[in-house]
Structure 1
Amino acid sequence: MRIALVCTEKLPVPPVRGGAIQTYIDGVLPFLSARHDVTVVGRTDPALPDREAVALAGPSLPQGRAGGGTVRHVRLPAEGGAESYGDRAAAFLATERWDVVEIFNRPAFVERIARAAPGARLVLSLHNAMFAPHRLSPAEARRILARVDAVVTISDFIRGSIARLYPEYAGKLRTIRSGVDLERFRPGPSPQSEALRARLGLAGRPVVLSVGRLSAKKGIHVLLEAMERVLLTHPEAVLVQVGSRWYGRDDADAYVQAVRQQAARLGDGVRMVGYVPYHEVDAYFRLGDLFVCASQWEEPLARVHYEAMACGLPIVTTDRGGNAEVVEEGRNGLLVRPCHRPEGFASAIQALLDDPDLRRRLGAEGRRMAEESFSWERVAREQLAVLEG
């Protein structure tokens, strides 16, 4: 089959600047391209050519050819925002014939792509609550859901939010949770993580790790307030916060400035690392002793949970949105309820710092869960079942 994967206008594929959707696409490409002719339509980036064909090495699904295949990348300008980019994507698709087009996180593209690729099966892949009423009117939503052949969501939370609004289309919805590179993200230190530990002055100190963008909905301010309490009982602990306001940049808005001032008051108890390229972020996971996600919003299901599990880290997270679908209380992590109370985070962090055996047990179970359920091979197998109809 000839398959087109249409990424959003936000970030390029491969994920040279990060991005959950971009990482998802990149993770399944070796498996999809082993069986089909795959083209990725994405945005341009200074680090990448506008057109290229990439031969992918790697394993295939049992029914596929040995090794990966060749993937074509067609990168289009993102100037003018989503609407202009969507028009460019549709114009490109109209120049060739497609068997299947999978559209990532942009339901608004569906109708124009349907016109551009007549006869193609259309699959909509949702990584956020894109059918919320403030995003799409009921009339628009029903037209889109009627036009697509299937809707893939990354969590039951996202799937359920659509099914509740439009129950007549529930049969088109399927959850396919994301995955993680189990070789890159694995338990134990690496040469890179040990070098980071030395550079950041972390020798002999328990590391509380957080990886995420610096925005109010990600709750970094709540975690920093929690660390004030943690440092009273565990002054040797240190929070390592990886992330910036947006992928690929370290400029500061008012929130980031406030968070940096808050962190400065904790002195040696915090390292604000800033933006880290995605190909380097695994080294930070491998120097952590526990992982914290302080989401304050209805998180679709943050992919950092998969990465922390793969690295054998016990997880402290909120039950907002889809997070609790992969983090079970007392099995591979601890859940903080309600999410806005820093004392809840402090108590969970202190419990893990006080009990090395608990940390090891939760972390080991997380790695086992990642190996069993969250490989890219599993994601690709389920995605192929949808694409192949």
Structure 2
Amino acid sequence: MNVLIICTEKLPVPNIRGGAIQTYIGGVAQKISAHHRLTILGRSDPELLPDEVVNGIRYVRVPSDGIFDKYAEGVVQFLNQRTEHYDLIHIFNRPRLVLPVRNTSPQSRIVLSMHNDMFNPAKIHPDEAQAVITTLERIVTISNFIGNEILRYYPQAQPKLRTIYSGVDLDRFAPWMESQTALHERQVLRAQHQLESKKVILFVGRLSRNKGPHVLVRAMSQLKHSDAVLVVVGGAWYSDNRVSDYIAYIRSLAERASLPVVTTGYVEAHDVHRWFCAADVFVCTSIWDEPLARVHYEAMAAGLPFLTTARGGNPEVIINDNGLLITNPDSPLEYAEKLNQLLSNMDHARQMGLRGRRLTEQRFHWDRVAQEILSVWG
């Protein structure tokens, strides 16, 4: 088949600026292109050509400035000007693109992947949403939670839904106990930050209140382990190191914490795996209903035990004692209690982490994701 994948307007593909959706597309693209002719349509970027072929995959990029309407206009213009027919068009996370794409491509099959709650009536008019669901052949969701949110508004979508969990690069994210490369990364980074003898607790993500890292910083004052250090990796947005009011607040809390808190600022997507190598425990602190943060897969692949919150799809990756669930994400005390539990028995914690690694090898690798996408396409 001749297939077109349409990414979102926020970040480019490949994921030179980061982004979960961009990482997902990048993870499966080469594997899918072995079976089908593939074009990927995404937003423009100063570091990327507007139209190029890389390893047999065509990348077309249109202006967006991060604005949906501008991007949608570029998508429609591209489809109107094309000289070839796409048998299947796979749109990512933008149900509002479906009808404009259908109008330009009446004979194409259309599949939609959902990574967020974009069918919420606050984000798409119910009449349009119902027309979109009717138009689509299948709706792939990143978690059961996202599928259930769609059903909450539109039960008629049930026969078209399928959950396909994301994946991770098993070579890049590897346990330091089992990989000489990961061990070297760990030793270098820990030496650079004077963390050689520390128990490193890691947070990775955008620094915003709904992501919850402020609760974790507050929890540090209640830890019983004087050798514990919290490392907070991330910025206000992808490729953005500006100090927002919230980041200033985090840094103020960090300065007053009784144990060290390191804030790294934004770390490039190709370097972030090094911090997973350097850590001992990973924590996802989401206060909002997270669809299912991909950092869980990265932590598991790196052999890290993790804490995550009972929000959205996050609990779906707690399997076979590979992590612990935080039932109240607003409670520093609950984080402290569970971190004390892990840090008090590091051998047990590492066994939890290695169970997570085995899970990624069995279930959460890109080969499996690509095969499931191919099965949806038929």
Q: Kindly report which structure 2 residues correspond to 1:257-276, keeping only aligned pairs within 5 A, or say none.
A: 257-266=248-257, 269-276=260-267
1:280 is paired with a residue whose SS is coil
**2:164 equivalent to 1:176:** yes
Any idea what the Cα deviations from partners look like across 1:275-321, whole Å, max 9, x if unmatched? 11111111110111010000000000000000000011001010100
Residue pair 2:220, 2:258 contacting (<8 A) in 1 also = no
- Separation in 2, partners of 1:263, 1:121: 51
Match of 1:222 in 2: 215
Match of 2:203 among 205, 210, 221: 210
Change (3 A) 1:295 1:187: same
1:255 is paired with a residue whose SS is helix
Residue pair 2:27, 2:168 contacting (<8 A) in 1 also = yes
Match of 1:59 in 2: none
| 4+ runs deviating over 6 angstroms | none
Match of 2:184 in 1: 191
1:209 is paired with a residue whose SS is strand
Superposed displacement of residue 193, structure 1: 2.9
Superposed displacement of residue 268, structure 1: 6.0
Superposed displacement of residue 50, structure 1: 1.4
Q: Kindly report which structure 2 residues correspond to 1:214-293, keeping only aligned pairs within 5 A, or say none.
A: 214-230=207-223, 233-266=224-257, 269-293=260-284
- Separation in 1, partners of 2:184, 2:85: 47
- The residue type equivalent to 2:185 in the other structure is Q
Any idea what the Cα deviations from partners look like across 1:199-244, whole Å, max 9, x if unmatched? 11101111001101100010011110111111xx111110011100
Q: How many residues align?
A: 371
Match of 1:146 in 2: 134
Superposed displacement of residue 357, structure 1: 2.5
- Separation in 1, partners of 2:159, 2:28: 24
- Separation in 2, partners of 1:49, 1:80: 17
Share of identical aligned residues, percent? 47
Q: Kindly report which structure 2 residues correspond to 1:338-377, keeping only aligned pairs within 5 A, or say none.
A: 338-377=328-367
Residue pair 1:54, 1:71 contacting (<8 A) in 2 also = yes
Residue pair 2:239, 2:266 contacting (<8 A) in 1 also = yes
Match of 2:24 in 1: 24
Point out the more displaced range, 71-80 or 209-218: 71-80
Residue pair 2:168, 2:365 contacting (<8 A) in 1 also = yes
Any idea what the Cα deviations from partners look like across 1:77-120, whole Å, max 9, x if unmatched? 11371011011112112323101111111111110011111211
Match of 2:109 in 1: 121
- Separation in 1, partners of 2:152, 2:196: 50
Q: Kindly report which structure 2 residues correspond to 1:158-173, keeping only aligned pairs within 5 A, or say none.
A: 158-173=146-161
Match of 1:296 among 271, 274, 287: 287
Residue pair 1:190, 1:283 contacting (<8 A) in 2 also = no
- Separation in 1, partners of 2:267, 2:90: 29
Match of 1:380 in 2: 370
Superposed displacement of residue 133, structure 1: 1.9
Unmatched segments (≥5 aa) in structure 2:
177-181
Superposed displacement of residue 192, structure 1: 2.8
- Separation in 1, partners of 2:209, 2:372: 34
- Separation in 1, partners of 2:277, 2:146: 30
Point out the more displaced range, 90-99 or 16-25: 90-99
Residue pair 1:9, 1:78 contacting (<8 A) in 2 also = yes
Change (3 A) 1:341 1:80: closer
C-alpha RMSD over aligned residues: 1.2
Match of 1:102 among 90, 100, 108: 90
Superposed displacement of residue 135, structure 1: 1.2
Any idea what the Cα deviations from partners look like across 1:33-61, whole Å, max 9, x if unmatched? 10111011011112211111111xxxxxx
Match of 1:84 among 70, 85, 98: 70
Residue pair 1:316, 1:334 contacting (<8 A) in 2 also = yes
Residue pair 1:288, 1:313 contacting (<8 A) in 2 also = yes
1:286 is paired with a residue whose SS is helix
Match of 1:60 in 2: none
Residue pair 2:11, 2:66 contacting (<8 A) in 1 also = no
- Separation in 2, partners of 1:359, 1:157: 28
**2:54 equivalent to 1:54:** yes
TM-score, with structure 1 as normaliser: 0.93
- Separation in 2, partners of 1:268, 1:46: 41
Residue pair 2:277, 2:302 contacting (<8 A) in 1 also = yes
- Separation in 1, partners of 2:258, 2:242: 22
- The residue type equivalent to 1:343 in the other structure is L
Residue pair 2:221, 2:258 contacting (<8 A) in 1 also = no
Any idea what the Cα deviations from partners look like across 1:249-292, whole Å, max 9, x if unmatched? 11022111111111122276111011111111111101110100
TM-score, with structure 2 as normaliser: 0.96
Point out the more displaced range, 172-181 or 254-263: 254-263
